[in-house]
Structures are given as structure tokens and as C-alpha cells.
Structure 1
Amino acid sequence: MFHVKREGPIDMSEALRHRLDRFAAILTRWNARINLVSPRDLPHLWDRHIADSLQLAALVPPGARLADLGSGGGFPGLIIAIATNADVTLIESDQRKAAFLREAARAAGARVTVLARRIEDIDIPPVQVVTARALAALPQLLEWSSRLLAPDGFCLFLKGRNVDDELTSAAADWHMAVSRLPSRTNADGTILKLGEITRVRHSERATGS
């Protein structure tokens, strides 16, 4: 385990609220054409998606470079970029969703790079933080993330009620330092911070050590 300092919520200044409002307006328009969030979630966009993603923004070190996996509707990567002005690479293989991310980033004044390619095909300089939300089970996330992280980097993943099962499954193939924080927006949610990620050696599997 390693310690995660629980920062307070991101200061919702008038300027930040305005930028997030512009993002939300664009997402609402685009959602009529492509499935960015469930239509029934639109009335709860702030609580279920924006506020959920903002939890991670408070955990991003100043000056860190980030990669966000499967960015989709911009959660959490684009929201983090808007809130922190961090340098974020958004990875989204769907060309239409990638086009949305570019337009939303321009409107909200976020400094991002959008890569419309499969995660497996990405080749970028190592980053300090990898993020993801509602994308894949933890073993797959670690497979993708491990080759993108700098040696001292870590992952921030928003997870649901199956987090214990996912951690158990991932431990068969990965060593990692794990810290957990309860979600402030989802009673069943957990924020995972995972660092010191290394693959389990074959000899360890054979001996069960």
C-alpha cells in the first residue's frame, strides 16, 4: 500500500464553471448524433459524469503528463485537462468520438492531444499518470497502462462494486502498490491509485510466491 493524500474538491471558480458549461453544452448537442452518454444520464450529467471525473483532478500532481484510455465522452481525461490545465493525451479509437473530443477541447480551452487509434497501437513518451473510467476490467487496464507509464508513474482508475474481484484477478499477473479512496459521487464507487506496477514473473507463478 502507499499513501494517497486526499485533496479537497477542485475549486469551482467562475472561470472553470464556465469552461465546464461549454463542454456540457457541446456534449449535449453531439449526444443526439453519437452515443457519448446514455440519454437518460443527460439530466444528471454534472453529478454522474463531470463531478465523478473531477475527483481525479485533485489527485494529479502539478505539471504531470497524462494519458487517458478510451476517452469517449471526455470522462475523465478531458474533464481533468479542463480543471487542471494538465497536458493530457486522450486515446479514443472511435473517429466520431475523437472528433467530438477535439471540438469540446477547443471550446473549453483545454490543452489536449487526441489520438484516434487503438490503445494497443499507441506509441507516446512515458507519462506520469494513466487514467480510465468504465472502460475495461483491471487486468486489461494494467496490460495497456504498463507500457505507457514512466518508472515513477501511477494509474488512477474509477471503479465500481466489483473492484475487489478485479484486484484479486489482477494480482495473478501483476505486482502493484494499491491505494483506495471512496468515491464521493457513487456509493458503490472506488478510486484506485496503482503504482510500482510490474508483471509477475513465470517463476513466481510456478511457486505461488
Structure 2
Amino acid sequence: MTEEEARGWIVDRFDAEVLAKLERLVALVTDETARQNLVSPSTLAGIWSRHIVDSLQLVDLAPADGAWLDIGTGGGFPGLAVAVVRDTAMHLVEPRRKRAVFLEEAAHILGLPHVHVHASKVESVTARAKTISARAVGSIAALVEAARHVASRDTVWLLPRGRVSPEELAGLPRYARVFHVEQSLTDPDSQIVVLRGVFGR
């Protein structure tokens, strides 16, 4: 997906207010990346496709309501971008303090009072979520083991990856075997693993 196609995808789906907030988010991330490595500098030239649309494509796969918890939000993706287009509670989990501070400041600047930043590992978070996302954070098996205490029976897990190997899926624990794989809109070599029925301990 080109940057022009990515901008067109946004314009077709969201109003001018959302577009303006996303443009502000892009400016904030670009500016802050000069001070700390929020995203790889090599991806800034393609930020609309690589980060914005790559994040917002998850919205159509998620339940329409309920809290959303994003693990390892980093520079704001996907969690902060999703918070721009959804007004339900958004929990951003980012253990690196400088990045967490950036997320708090960006949420304030963007006028997103429903964003809650947790400067900790997900194991310390107690919020429950109907949607859990994590963008290429460790192995799927390790991720669901660390975070399933914040999930319920109805929680949908959205896990954007590169190409998912059959070995990784075969290695999932028994409680994480209800899944399917979606193709990413932005990269033919990327996929999204959608898990259901992973909850509790």
C-alpha cells in the first residue's frame, strides 16, 4: 500500500476531525522519534501505511464496544491510533517509562480522555478488556500466557505479525487453539492472528 492509497483509505472511512487528529499524531511521532526511538526512522516515510492504516485495519476485526488493551504500544501503534477513532476505554501498556510519558502527553494533546497509560508490563495490569492487541510482541504463546488474566471468554485477541509460521501456531497451548489468520491490508507478507476463547488463570 502506497502513502497515497493509505491516505485515501483513511479519507474514505473517517471524517475530517479524525483525519486532523491522525495528522497531529503523525507529527507528534515524527518529532519525538528524533529524540527517542519510538518507531524505526526508516518507516517514517511510509508512516500512513506502515503505522496508521496498519493499526486501524484492526478496528473492523474487533468487537464494536468494550475496553481495548494494547500491549507494548511503543510509539502509539496500534493503540493510540485506534483511540483516535474509538471512544471506548483504551488501555496502553508500555513498560518503557519515556515512551509511556510520550503516550500520556500525546493522548492529552489529541484530546483523548478515554486513554489510560500503564507504565508497566502487562503482568501487572488489572484492567479487563474485550479486545487485546499486540503488534509483533514476542511469541504468541508467551504473550497469551502473560496477558490472559486481563481477558474474558468473549475477548478477541488481534495480533499483527509478519508471515505466521505453521510451527508457531502448532506451538500454541491448548487454551489458545481457537484462531484464524487474516491477511494484512498494508503488506502482502504480513498477517493478523485472531484468537478467541483465551481467558483467565
Question: Could you tell me which amino acid in structure 1 is paired with residue 149 of structure 2?
Answer: R
Structural mapping, 1:23-62, within 5 Å: 23-62=25-64
**Identity among equivalent pairs (%):** 33
| TM norm structure 1 | 0.84
* Deviations, residues 39-98 of structure 1 (Å, cap 9, x unaligned): 111111111111100100122222211111011011111111111222110000101000
Based on CA coordinates, which of the two structures has the bigger radius of gyration?
A: 1
What is the distance in 1 between the residues matched to 2:74 and 2:110?
16
Q: How many angstroms does 1:162 deviate by?
A: 3.1
4+ runs deviating over 3 angstroms: none
Instruction: Identify the residue that residue 131 of structure 2 maps to in structure 1.
Output: 129
Instruction: Identify the residue that residue 80 of structure 1 maps to in structure 2.
Output: 82
**Bigger shift: 174-183 or 126-135?**
174-183
> How many residues are aligned here?
189
Q: Are positions 1:186 and 2:174 aligned together? A: no
* Deviations, residues 111-153 of structure 1 (Å, cap 9, x unaligned): 20001012222222x2111111021111111112211102221
User: Higher helix share goes to which structure?
Assistant: 2
Gaps of 5+ in 2: 1-8
Gaps of 5+ in 1: 1-8, 200-209
Q: Select 1:112's aligned residue among 110, 115, 122.
A: 115
What is the distance in 1 between the residues matched to 2:33 and 2:40?
8
Instruction: Identify the residue that residue 196 of structure 1 maps to in structure 2.
Output: 197
Instruction: Identify the residue that residue 6 of structure 1 maps to in structure 2.
Output: none
| TM norm structure 2 | 0.87
1:29 partner SS: helix
Q: How many angstroms does 1:198 deviate by?
A: 6.1
Provide the aligned C-alpha RMSD in A.
1.7
User: Higher strand share goes to which structure?
Assistant: 1
Question: Could you tell me which amino acid in structure 2 is paired with residue 16 of structure 1?
Answer: V
